[in-house]
Amino acid sequence: MTTSDPIGGRTEGVSPTPTAPLHKPQFTYVELVHLPDQVERWIRFGEVADERIVSRRVRFQGFAPGAIFAFVRWAANDYGTAVSRIDILHAVSRCQACSTIPGVSPGAEILLRLSGWPKVEQALKAIDIVEALGLKPTEAAPDHWRHVHHRLTAGQPARPYTLERHDAWLLRRELER
């Protein structure tokens, strides 16, 4: 079976939507695909709470409500790269409003959404900067990912994440509890 892929490629034998009985309803699921030289979807960071392997090329990873994860999508055609995208998402519970994202069921809160290799590359570098501080990108302030999204969308460089900003985020989060 051949289906049209939402990011511009074609996938052989890939179901366009997850099979409902396989999934736990409290999780946000991401469909990961690896078709060499055609379509690749992978998780750059995030704590996986559930995983369902459908085939050698397709699997679903589930994220608990509140989890932050980065979902990278790439597709090629006969002329090279057709699509490069990155989304940094916040998994929500079933009763919360969310945005729909291709390959993500039922959806998530978007913290960062960028298209085009130059912007995707800058977002990946922003993730590397957080990791260079000895932090997991999932621990960084969600506002930082929104900041990176807005700055890169406007064609401006994003300010790097710092330990001082992280400490401020931890204090703010503690006050909100």
Q: What angle do CA 111, 150, 72 make, to 5 degrees?
A: 50
Minimal CA–CA distance to 94: which of 173, 1, 28? 28
Helix or strand run (H / E) with residue 73: strand 68-77
**Beta carbons within 10 angstroms of residue 149's beta carbon:** 22
pLDDT tens series, the chain, 177 aa = 444 444 444 444 444 444 444 567 789 999 999 999 899 999 999 999 999 999 999 999 999 999 999 999 999 988 888 899 999 999 999 889 999 999 999 999 999 999 999 999 999 999 999 999 999 999 999 999 999 999 999 999 999 999 999 999 999 999 988
The C-alpha atoms of residue 64 and residue 140 are separated, in whole angstroms, by 17
pTM (two decimals) = 0.85
**What residues are paired with 108 via a beta bridge?**
99
What single DSSP character describes residue 153?
H
The C-alpha atoms of residue 106 and residue 75 are separated, in whole angstroms, by 22
Minimal CA–CA distance to 33: which of 54, 10, 57? 57
State residue 7's pLDDT score. 45
